[in-house]
Amino acid sequence: MPDTTKQESGRGLWYGAAAYGIWGLFPLFWPLLEPGAADDILANRMVWSLVAVMLLLVAQRHWGWIRPLLRQPRRLAMLAAAAAVISVNWGVYIWAVNAGHVVETSLGYFINPLVTIGFGVLVLKERLRVAQWTAVGIGAAAVAVLTVAYGQLPWIALTLALSFATYGLLKKTVGLSGVESLAAESAFMFPFALAYLVYLEVSGHGTFGHTVAGSYGWGHSGLLMLSGVITAIPLLCFGAAAVRVPLTVLGLLQYLAPVFQFLIGVTVFHESMPTARWAGFALVWVALALLTWDALRRVRADRAERAAAAVPQPVPAPAATR
């Protein structure tokens, strides 16, 4: 492998680690925005995400994709649906983190690959290998165990996993890059978010632009604005990683985010982890280990097939004449 290719792959690995690392550290950020409520934080994140991504597009002078997109109603409808789904995901995630359910949010992103596989079967009619079916079965058993452990369905985790898997399916169909997709989705969300912020301001429940002695000051408004920037930065890192490293590497790096979230929930916020919950999480991790093993085995097999196909076949000797 040439040195330049190795350097690019190394950079891609760091970009990917940065993207998933930042996403994994999000539980440390949202509590800083209190006493803003989850709906207040979500609306601000939507508004300032559009501001941040527009600044990026201005800096890159990257506008050529907009006009063709506006002439495709089907793609626009899918982007609107993606915006609605990711809004649910963001809202539940912010509320759950600030309500002390960080560990359960990590569960949502741990089981997301299993839900994505389920969508592949149900929606895209994909055929699963034995190892994948086994992983899905173990994942279903894990949900059953965790339902008993929590005393109810782990609805936060399931909502996050289902919404993010749906979002991924829509984005796969639309086919836009991370920044372009965020720009379009933020544009759809912006009028509703801005209208809601105006409503919060009029009703006296908004926190942006206000100071309360002994509670929060102007730094709070600055952090609300920063929510747009921290939404955009990991997407940029992810985009830079996606063009430099194989998808299998990104697939492995994706586990960084829920691992960080889980560790933060247990070690920083000291959330309870009874034995039954450990058992449920252990089943999820077994399922993910099986998926990872199967994916790596498939990659090695594909490489071997391509290498065999690339070997020139011997030319048969001409038949002897009598």
User: What is the model's pLDDT at position 43?
Assistant: 96
pLDDT digits (tens, 9 = 90+) for 159-201: 999 999 898 888 878 877 778 888 999 999 999 999 999 999 9
CA distance 128 to 119: 11
Q: Partners of 212 in the beta sheet? A: 216
Model confidence at 252: pLDDT above 70: yes
256, 17 Cβ separation under 8 angstroms: yes
Q: CA torsion 87→88→94→98, rounded to 10°?
A: 150
| Cα distance between residue 286 and residue 273, in whole Å | 18
More confident position, 186 or 314: 186
Q: Is 274 left (phi over 0), alpha (psi -120 to 50) or beta?
A: beta
pLDDT of residue 321: 45
At 322, the pLDDT band (50, 70, 90 cuts) reads very low
Q: Taking the CB of residue 156, how many other CB atoms lie within 10 A of it?
A: 21
Over residues 256-292, the pLDDT tens digits come to 999 999 999 999 999 999 999 999 999 999 999 998 8
3-state secondary structure of 216: strand
**Phi, psi angle pair for 262, to nearest 5°:** -60, -45
What's the mean per-residue pLDDT of the chain? 88
* Per-residue model confidence as pLDDT tens digits over 95-113: 999 999 999 999 999 998 8
Average pLDDT value for residue range 305-317:
65
Task: Examine the pLDDT at 315 and tell me if it is beyond 60.
Answer: no
pLDDT of 56 higher than 80: yes
d(CA 76, CA 69): 7
Q: Which residues pair with 287 in a beta bridge?
A: none
**pLDDT above 80 for 32:** yes
Between 116 and 96, name the one with better pLDDT.
96
Residue 115's contacts (CB-CB under 8 Å, 6 or more residues apart) are 161, 162, 165
Residue 259: both structure tokens together: 């691992």
Average pLDDT for 236-243 = 81
Q: Which of 81-95, 286-300, 305-319 has the highest mean pLDDT?
A: 81-95
pLDDT digits (tens, 9 = 90+) for 133-164: 899 899 999 999 999 998 899 999 999 999 99
Residue 2 has pLDDT above 70, yes or no: no
Question: What tokens does 140 get?
Answer: 């279903």
Write down the pLDDT at residue 127.
Answer: 82
Specify the 3-state DSSP secondary structure of 212. strand
29 versus 167: which is more confidently predicted? 29
Percentages (nearest 5) of helix, strand, coil residues in the chain: 80, 0, 20
Task: Quote the pTM value.
Answer: 0.88
